[in-house]
Amino acid sequence: MAASTNTAASPQADEPIIRICDLHKSFGETKVLNGISLDIHKGEVVVVLGPSGSGKSTFLRCLNRLEQPTSGHIFFEGQDICAPKADVNDIRKRMGMVFQQFNLFPHLDAVHNVMLAQEKVLHRSRSEAKEVALKELARVGLAERSDYYPDELSGGQQQRVAIARALSMEPHVMLFDEATSALDPELVRGVLDVMRELATGGMTMVVVTHEMSFARDVADRVIFMEGGVIVEDGTPEQVFEHPKSERTRAFIGQVTG
């Protein structure tokens, strides 16, 4: 409830939902992010590309503070989430995340995977949580599988349950961290279809992926990262057709063949 008023309270379209200012992150001596600044607006679908080790996953994980930035600021809906006093749990419930390895809770069946955080974090009643869970499972095409345990589901189905789990919290932003990378090729499409549908529905999304076609078709913006900095930032057309740097051109050429 509070979340929806928040959204309504930012009527200006040019007020970014996420503003990242000079973000740095090091693991010990290793510098992974070297000053990233970026505005993401409501309803935008931002696809982050880059070779492995470019820092794109770390960047995504900084957005909901699964990684603690070394320096810099991230403003989410006007609130500095890097501030020491920031309530990370409150931030995270407004920011859904989908992992490469799905990370479903193996001891719970699909519907209870989706229900758990609703009950514990949003304090929804059991019946309300179940209603929402079944709705979200239906949305990802798994209404029939609600009482299946994770190890009874295929990878693609598991990932769709994970998406339903994140969506049940009614997040304002969805973060996808290589959501299809661990899937067998024939299962990728189902997950991408769900993500596509989300994008069409107006969800703000930050997507780290290797799926070029998804970036080309669905993204509003494509960001190319390398060496912990943003090398390219533009519409899919700009980045794919007229890349500014040689490195981007080479990367895109490599993955699209």
Partner 1 sequence: MSTLSKRLPAAALVLLACLASCCMWLALPARTADAMQIVRCTGRPNSDDDATTIQGATQSRITLEATVDEGEGVDQFVLHIPDGTTFETDDLTLTLLTGDDLMTRNDVSYDLSVDGQDIVLDFDEPLVQAGHLNIIVYGVYFPQEGGDIQVGASYTLTDGSKHDIANIPTIPVVGISGPEALSQWLEQQEWVQAWNSNTFLHLFFDPTILVTSFPVVLNGFFMSVGVVAVAFPLAIPFALVLALMRLSKFFLWRGIAATYVNLMRGTPLFLQIYVAFFGLPLAGINIPNFPLGVIVLMLNSAAYMCEIFRAGIQSINKGQTEAARSLGMTGFQTMLHVIFPQMFRIVIPNLTNEFITLYKDSSLLAAVGVMELVMYARTIVASTGSITPYIVAALFYLVITLPLSRITRVLEESVRGHRSRKRHTHTPDAENAGTAKEVAA
CB of 139 to partner 1, least distance (A): 8
**Binding positions for partner 1, rule: CB under 8 A:** 64, 66, 89-93, 95-97, 99, 101, 103-107, 109, 116-117, 120-121, 140-142, 144-145, 148-149, 151-154, 156-157, 160, 162, 165-166, 169, 187, 189-190, 193-194, 197
Angstrom distance (rounded) from CA 50 to CA 57: 10
Between 138 and 229, name the residue whose CB sits nearer to partner 1: 138
Between 66 and 212, name the residue whose CB sits nearer to partner 1: 66
Angstrom distance (rounded) from CA 222 to CA 94: 23
Between 143 and 233, name the residue whose CB sits nearer to partner 1: 143
- Residue 164, phi-psi category: left (phi > 0), alpha (psi -120 to 50), beta (remainder): alpha
CB of 235 to partner 1, least distance (A): 28
Angstrom distance (rounded) from CA 105 to CA 3: 26
Between 169 and 223, name the residue whose CB sits nearer to partner 1: 169
CB of 103 to partner 1, least distance (A): 4
Between 184 and 241, name the residue whose CB sits nearer to partner 1: 184
CB of 224 to partner 1, least distance (A): 25
CB of 68 to partner 1, least distance (A): 12
Cα-based angle 14, 225, 68 (whole degrees, multiple of 5): 75
**Residue 221 CB burial class (10 angstroms; 0-12, 13-18, ≥19):** buried
Between 45 and 117, name the residue whose CB sits nearer to partner 1: 117
Burial 178-208, CB ≥16 within 10 A → b, else e: bbbeebeeebbebbbebbeebbeeebbbbbb
What is the arrangement of strands in the sheet containing 204-208, beginning at the earlier edge strand? 95-98, 173-177, 204-208, 45-49, 221-226, 229-234
Angstrom distance (rounded) from CA 76 to CA 106: 31
CB of 55 to partner 1, least distance (A): 18
CB of 93 to partner 1, least distance (A): 3
Between 18 and 140, name the residue whose CB sits nearer to partner 1: 140
Angstrom distance (rounded) from CA 145 to CA 53: 36
